[in-house]
Amino acid sequence: MEKSNCKLPTATIYLEDTLVDIGMFPNGDYCLNQAQVAQVIGEPLASITQFLDSEEFKVNWASRCQIFDISEVYLEGSTKPIVPISINVATCYWQNCAVAGNEKANELILTLMMNTLCGKSTFTFDPTQN
C-alpha cells in the first residue's frame, strides 16, 4: 500500500451523535476515517482490521466493496494522516457489527436506510433537489 501526501477536500457530517469526516479523492471516490467508522458504533479500531481480514468479509463482502490501495491520506485542515476506508466497506462493517448484536451499529444502519429512502423519494418527486 502506498501513502498519499495530497490533502483531500473534506466535509464533516453527523452520524448519530458523532462528527465524521468525509474525504474526496481527485477521481470523485469518497473515503471515511477508519478510526471514526469504528468510534461511531463504539467499537475498537482493531475490529475493522479483523473484519477486513476475516473469511466472512472475503467471501460475502469483498466483491461488492472498493478497497483503497492507499494506507494513509491527509484531509484538508488536518496535520495528522488518516487510514481511509470506502463508504461501501464502512457500510458492510457496520452491517456485520449490527448482525453481531451491536445496537449502535443497528441504529446507524436503520437511520442511514431511512435517510437514503427519504432522499431518493425527494429526488424522484423533485429532481432539482440533489
- Contact call for residues 57 and 51 (beta carbons, < 8 A): yes
Domain assignment present for residue 130? The answer is no
* Residue numbers of the domain that contains 72: 2-125
Domain assignment present for residue 45? The answer is yes
Element (H, E) at 92: helix 87-99
pLDDT tens-digit map of 47-89: 999 999 999 888 888 887 778 878 889 899 888 999 999 999 9
Grid coordinates in use for 15? 452520524
State pTM to two decimals.
0.84
How far apart CA 80 and CA 38 sit, in angstroms, is 18
Domain assignment present for residue 38? The answer is yes
Domain assignment present for residue 115? The answer is yes
pLDDT tens-digit map of 4-19: 667 899 999 888 778 8
Domain assignment present for residue 9? The answer is yes
Domain count, the chain: 1
Any residues with CB less than 8 A from the CB of 37 and at least 6 apart, and which? Answer: 20, 48, 85, 90, 93, 94
